[in-house]
Structure 1
Amino acid sequence: MALSDLGPADRHRRIAGAFTDRVRAAKNWDADAPVAGWKARDVVRHLVEWLPALLAGGSDVRLPAAGDVDADPAAAWQAHCDAVQAVLDDPATPGRTLSNPHIGELPLDQAIDRFYTTDVFLHTWDLARATGQDDRLDPEFCAMLLGGMEPLDEMLRASGQYGPRVPVPADADAQTRLIGFIGRDPFWTPA
């Protein structure tokens, strides 16, 4: 089944599973990452740290502390990933709400899906590139995300969450165009 056809819990399970595979196979957590100033461990740190604050500030969900990313990035990721999956698997979650001044009010599962799970998907490329692993992302999901993000280009750039768009060849595939859109050089390799 295509990623776009899945509900929030199953989509997170698949996307987080692909990220988890990269986490488990990572050998050098101090390797440079495609995000300026980040190391491989910082990709994990980012994902582990931002969602708990968003949820605590706009819902009744309090995720447990994931652990020390510096001491054990894989353990911190797994604890965090499991906690997010438990929230999404809870049958009460779709009836809960996330309220945020920047995104408004959304059903909790949809908010996690739209903002967090998508972020995990995109950062899978970062971690894979940093650690020399398979960086291929689901092409259909890349195309769908890009199609949804392009009309919001100005707003997304203004949010500070994305760097300047990186130009790519006109005939580039959906993944290359998406990576360039979010401000990464799709041809980046570690020094």
Structure 2
Amino acid sequence: MADRFSELIRNCPPDRWEDPSPCPGWTAWDVAAHVVSNHRRAIAGLDRSGYSAPARSEDLPQAWDAASEEVKAALRDPVKAHVLLEEEFGSITFEEFVRRMACADTLIHGWDLARATGQNEVLDPGAVAVATEILQPEVGDIRMPKAFGAKVSPAADADAQTRLLNFLGRQV
């Protein structure tokens, strides 16, 4: 999922960063900055340090590359991967938080970024299956302000990607 998000952020046409995204009130830049910020937040959770959201003056593809590489490096470190994160993260290991974050954030917001910027919106079917498995049982926890919107009823013949996106409030 990180590689796909890297492709989307690097290939974003420069004139499309301010285009509206499927996330109400967010532009393509806001969506990408949110994903970068959550990766920074995950790393900060390892040592309880602070983190900041990307500033408008930052090079967003560079910020993404740095944050993504830090997460990948921490996952390769068996000690860091198994650090138990505090309550703010749900009292789960770093590795499990990243797995969930990748599904909810990197995968779904990758679709949001692709939609906003006119790029390929097709999600990896395996990632869609994992995200569905992780997110559907959390239906009560993910329906909150600034998270996922109300479910959209999918068409009877909707594919797995469309059903997941509709479940998360996206109009497809």
Please give the range of the TM-score, normalised by the shorter of the 2 chains: 0.7 to 0.9
**Is the strand fraction higher in 1 or 2?**
1
Q: Which string of whole-angstrom CA distances, capped at 9 and with x for unpartnered residues, describes residues 79-110 of structure 1?
A: 2112222211223223321121562x222212
Where does residue 42 of structure 1 map in the other structure? 30
2:79 corresponds, among 92, 101, 106, to 92
Where does residue 117 of structure 1 map in the other structure? 102
Greater shift, 65-74 or 32-41, is seen at 65-74
Offset at residue 144 of structure 1 (A): 3.2
- The number of residue pairs the alignment matches comes to 169
Where does residue 31 of structure 1 map in the other structure? 19
Where does residue 133 of structure 1 map in the other structure? 119
Q: 1:158 to 1:65 in 2, by over 3 A?
A: closer
Give runs of aligned pairs for residues 45-84 of structure 1, distance below 5 A. Answer: 45-53=33-41, 55-56=43-44, 58-60=45-47, 62=49, 68-84=55-71
Offset at residue 159 of structure 1 (A): 7.0
Q: TM-score, normalised by structure 2?
A: 0.85
2:138 corresponds, among 148, 152, 161, to 152
CA distance in 2, matches of 1:62, 1:126: 29
Q: Decide whether the 8 Å contact of 2:39 with 2:67 is kept in 1.
A: no
Counterpart of 1:38 in 2: which secondary structure? coil
Q: 1:101 to 1:159 in 2, by over 3 A?
A: farther
Counterpart of 2:5 in 1: which secondary structure? helix
Q: TM-score, normalised by structure 1?
A: 0.77
Q: 1:117 to 1:147 in 2, by over 3 A?
A: closer
The letter for the 1-side match of 2:31 is V
Q: Which string of whole-angstrom CA distances, capped at 9 and with x for unpartnered residues, describes residues 68-87 of structure 1?
A: 34442212211211222221
Q: Decide whether the 8 Å contact of 2:36 with 2:54 is kept in 1.
A: no
Q: Which string of whole-angstrom CA distances, capped at 9 and with x for unpartnered residues, describes residues 130-157 of structure 1?
A: 1111110012321332233223323321
Gaps (5+ residues) in structure 2?
Answer: none
For the aligned residues, what is the CA RMSD? 2.4
